[in-house]
Amino acid sequence: MDGRWAGARKSGWVARREEVTITALPQPSVPDSLRGEGCSRRPPLDKLLFMELGREADTVSLESKIGRCKLRISMIGCGYVGLVTGTCLAEAGHQVLCTDNDAERIAALKAGVVPIYEPHLDAMLAANCRSQNLSFTRNAAEAVRAADAIFICVGTPPLENGEADLSAIDNVARLVASEALTSKLVVEKSTVPAQTGQQLKRVLGLYRRHGAVQLRVASNPEFLREGTAVQDFLHPDRIVLGVEEEETEKQLREIYRPILERRFRCPVHLGACPPAKSPDLLITTMNSAELIKHASNSFLAMKISYANMIADLCEKVGADIKEVTRAMGLDPRIGPRFLDAGLGFGGFCLPKDIQAFIRLAERCGVDFTMLKEAERVNKRRVDLLLEKIRKALWVIKGKRVGILGLAFKANTDDIRFAPSLEVIRALLAEGAQVRAYDQEAMDKTSAIFPQIHYCRDPYEAAQDVDALLILTEWEEFRQLDWERISDLMLRPMIIDGRNLLDPAAMMERGFEYHCFGRPIENQTAPKAIIHAPEVFLAGAHVPSAPSTEIVT
């Protein structure tokens, strides 16, 4: 099974679309009719999007909503970053052409199949292809020549020593230098170590074929989270522009103007975005912009590892990590997010970025032991979960274990560096029989572990198992019929690697329940709780109230 098309298949459409050959990019043309062609099963997605927004599309409102600051932009790389950035910039009214060296991927995108699962992306992509603001080509040279601004969105995977592999960036730089016939802005969007922009400038200069062509470079790091990437792009907290010339700053401001002024159709809030302050626009040097990205991801990683250490301490002293982090998070200097303890961080960003940052520090002679420690703490999380499983099951060999959640986090089908993979590997090595369920990530996991049983729903995953593990914080898992699950299991035992469930409620339902940093053995009904927002009370949440007195 090829997992890459799972999201597209789930979304239930494969639209036919004429291939657009881009030699000179067409000027905006707003369709005079939104009647669909080529999709017999449901209305065209652009129409659907408008229907979701609560109105029929009409060309006049579309034009006025989008505004007229249209720039020609090319995305090199159609992974998560390139696809989300390209589609959102097209939605913002620019003329976007995306290319990738994966021919299959481009063919699929041309056919309307989005190869990743990312909420709202497929509808937006279809709508913008239809309005011809967005198109795809295999011909990277064409994409270079057609654009005023070229966004580099290629992968920077980790090398064996942990450093970022910048060979794809280097390839793009040489391609741009040799193919550009007119002046271009080259925007570094991929996550790269500080000083990469300077190298990029050097390579562009060295390989430039046409002397009169000016190739300016900027760093514009992305802060998109998988699963909420469209929302993050359209409603960012901040936009960082690392620039060296005024002209570059002006051009980038123009590119982001529709986002700053909120002139786009928002698929997340269906046209009724809540009032919010404009994102901060930060103009920095290129080195700072690059460092901001790595420093942010590494800080988030450290925050998670810190919460995980506190969770371990909670287990020892009989405290509750949820109570501790909730109170900590009320301090605005700390903030409530990224303090969820459990299995630790996975995915393709935090683990690789922390490593690349450590290597950068080493190369620069800066002792960043703190970061190494955060990484070490994270690596230990899976071992701790396995220790809990061993303690609860005694012998793993011959036991049946059900797994809920395979993706590295909720709302994505991404399993790269997902803790679930290490857990499965260890369980299989120790002779357990594994069955698993995840609403999006099973296709991808089955390519790695074809030998485990993939289930239609969480209940099938619980059938006749000795233990049920929760490894991803999918919202669906909070809402399960736990009585039914208990009846299905050989032994009603849950090991909650994401602290998703309420220990008291689970124990009341008769489960043996294990999680991270919560006092399970001595769990009794909590003491009185007074006017606390979302305070834990015997399985229920007390509604928010203005006072914040918490009795723990």
Residues that bind ligand UGA (CB under 6 A): 191, 222-226, 297, 300, 304, 338-340, 342, 344-347, 349-350, 353, 408-409
Is residue 455 a contact partner of residue 433, using CB atoms and an 8 Å limit? no
Q: How far is the CB of 417 from ligand UGA (least distance, A)?
A: 8
**Closer to ligand UGA by Cβ: residue 345 or 357:** 345
**Closer to ligand UGA by Cβ: residue 159 or 295:** 295
Q: How far is the CB of 303 from ligand UGA (least distance, A)?
A: 7
Is residue 477 a contact partner of residue 484, using CB atoms and an 8 Å limit? no
**Closer to ligand UGA by Cβ: residue 85 or 135:** 85
Q: How far is the CB of 141 from ligand UGA (least distance, A)?
A: 28
Q: How far is the CB of 448 from ligand UGA (least distance, A)?
A: 17
Q: Identify any residues that bridge with 451 across adjacent strands, giving them in sequence order.
A: none
Does the CA dihedral 120-115-82-18 come out positive or negative?
negative
The catalytic residue positions are 349
Q: How far is the CB of 103 from ligand UGA (least distance, A)?
A: 25
How many residues in total does the chain contain?
552
Q: Identify any residues that bridge with 113 across adjacent strands, giving them in sequence order.
A: none
Give helix 286-317 / helix 321-329 axis angle, nearest 10°: 140
Mapped onto helix, strand or coil, the DSSP state of residue 170 is: helix
Alpha-carbon distance 344 to 302, whole Å? 10
The H or E element that residue 496 is part of is strand 493-496
End-to-end distance of the chain based on CA atoms, in angstroms?
49
Alpha-carbon distance 123 to 31, whole Å? 16
**Closer to ligand UGA by Cβ: residue 206 or 282:** 282
Q: How far is the CB of 508 from ligand UGA (least distance, A)?
A: 26
Alpha-carbon distance 238 to 355, whole Å? 24
**Closer to ligand UGA by Cβ: residue 133 or 196:** 196
Q: How far is the CB of 338 from ligand UGA (least distance, A)?
A: 4
The H or E element that residue 152 is part of is strand 149-152
**Closer to ligand UGA by Cβ: residue 95 or 411:** 411
Alpha-carbon distance 388 to 386, whole Å? 5
Is residue 359 a contact partner of residue 161, using CB atoms and an 8 Å limit? yes
Task: Report CA dihedral (132, 134, 140, 143) to the nearest 10 degrees.
Answer: 70
Is residue 186 a contact partner of residue 215, using CB atoms and an 8 Å limit? yes
**Closer to ligand UGA by Cβ: residue 224 or 488:** 224
Residues 6+ apart with CB under 8 A from 315: 516, 517, 518, 519
